[in-house]
């Protein structure tokens, strides 16, 4: 009977070349020869009757058709890898758990806590995928995503973790003569640093503290809180960030935050997942653990915190 699907060897070779953009690196990753990879690629292109790759100097790149094909099959290959890993582990509660996470939350909050998770669940291996954009769906092969926003993502369960409490931060070396920023009105005339997904945070802070006469929308914007925090450390301005992301810098005195009371905003970090992931022992264990690590939902935050 005529087959309607390429062989797994062809797909794995294509996937490796797409990821490494090099036939040599793909061969090393797959522990086979370069000629074997080339043979599998040739077989795949012959099977689909389309050019999938083209040379680009010393490397290779996907053709537009090759890119579209890879985007559709790569998630399925990750699913196969995960299912095989869990089957080979053959231990209740063990397996591979793949998460996508916002970078700053991952490095500043989650990773420092993972040794405790590993002690409790030594059979679970965590793998981290590229973080998702605001409107991007959770791809196949990713069990859950830690996202930043209001907690409202269509078709997903979203459970609040942390990050609604915001504080003003600045570098003690930013102001001449050892001056400080002690009162909310002291931010007048200073450069305000913003996170692009929290454009109204400074306005909420100003209203909360009765500060008028400043442009709360002006100032540089950053796609990640890590960049905004580093900009504050470097003295480029004053940032308004989730307090849980700067605990180390505040403890070390690299940053100060003695300017008014923290303000609660309607955004934070959420664990997002499809309902069917609750049936997976590894994910259920992680969800229960991170739930115990979560900050309480602030009483004065809006109802999106419960979504």
- pLDDT, residue 56, reads 78
CATH class in words for 8-84: mainly alpha
> By the 8 A CB rule, do 267 and 130 touch?
no
Q: Which CATH number fits domain 91-162+267-298: 3.90.78.10, 3.40.50.300, 3.30.420.40, 3.40.190.10?
A: 3.40.190.10
- pLDDT, residue 89, reads 60
Q: How far apart are CA 248 and CA 244, in angstroms?
A: 9
Six-digit token string for 69: 């094909």
pLDDT at 105 over 90: yes
Higher pLDDT, 31 or 134: 31
Q: How far apart are CA 150 and CA 171, in angstroms?
A: 29
Q: Lowest-confidence range among 119-123, 125-129, 184-188, 297-301?
A: 297-301
User: Is residue 29 classed exposed, middle or buried when 0-12, 13-18 and 19+ CB atoms within 10 A define those classes?
Assistant: middle
Read off the pLDDT of residues 107-151 as tens digits, 9 standing for 90 and up. 999 999 999 999 999 888 898 888 887 777 887 778 899 999 888
Read off the pLDDT of residues 58-104 as tens digits, 9 standing for 90 and up. 788 999 999 999 988 988 887 787 777 666 665 444 678 889 999 99
Q: Are strands 95-101 and 144-149 parallel, antiparallel or unpaired?
A: parallel
3-class state of residue 62 by DSSP: strand
CATH of span 165-264: 3.40.190.10
pTM of the predicted model as reported, rounded to 2 decimal places: 0.67
Equal CATH topology for 8-84 and 165-264: no
Contacts of 151 (CB under 8 A, 6+ apart): 158, 160, 268, 270, 304, 305, 306, 307
Where does the pLDDT of residue 259 fall: very low under 50, low under 70, confident under 90, or very high at 90 and above? confident
Q: How far apart are CA 238 and CA 191, in angstroms?
A: 6
> By the 8 A CB rule, do 251 and 146 touch?
no
Query: Would you list the domain boundaries of the chain?
Result: 8-84, 91-162+267-298, 165-264
């Amino acid at each position: 009977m005529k087959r309607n699907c390429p062989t797994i060897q062809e797909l794995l070779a294509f996937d490796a070349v797409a990821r490494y953009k090099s036939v040599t690196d793909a061969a090393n990753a797959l522990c086979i020869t370069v000629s074997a990879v080339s043979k599998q690629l040739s077989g795949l292109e012959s099977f689909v009757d389309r050019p999938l790759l083209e040379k680009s100097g010393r490397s290779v790149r996907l053709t537009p058709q090759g890119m579209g094909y890879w985007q559709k099959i790569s998630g399925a290959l990750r699913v196969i890898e995960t299912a095989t890993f869990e089957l080979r582990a053959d231990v209740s509660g063990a397996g591979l758990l793949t998460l996508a996470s916002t970078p700053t939350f991952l490095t500043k909050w989650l990773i420092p806590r993972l040794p405790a998770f590993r002690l409790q669940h030594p059979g679970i291996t965590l793998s981290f995928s590229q973080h998702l954009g605001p409107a991007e769906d959770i791809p196949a092969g990713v069990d859950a995503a830690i996202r930043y926003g209001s907690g409202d993502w269509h078709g997903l369960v979203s459970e609040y973790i942390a990050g609604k409490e915001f504080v003003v931060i600045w570098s003690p070396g930013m102001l001449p003569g050892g001056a400080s920023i002690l009162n909310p009105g002291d931010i007048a005339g200073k450069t305000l640093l913003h996170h692009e997904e929290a454009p109204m945070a400074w306005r909420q802070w100003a209203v909360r503290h009765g500060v008028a006469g400043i442009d709360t929308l002006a100032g540089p914007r950053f796609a990640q809180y890590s960049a905004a925090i580093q900009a504050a450390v470097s003295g480029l301005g004053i940032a308004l960030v989730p307090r849980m992301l700067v605990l180390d810098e505040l403890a070390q005195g690299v940053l100060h935050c003695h300017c008014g009371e923290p303000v609660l905003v309607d955004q934070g970090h959420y664990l997002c997942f499809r309902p069917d992931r609750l049936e997976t022992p590894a994910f259920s264990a992680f969800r229960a653990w991170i739930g115990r690590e979560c900050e309480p939902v602030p009483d004065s935050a809006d109802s999106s915190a419960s979504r």
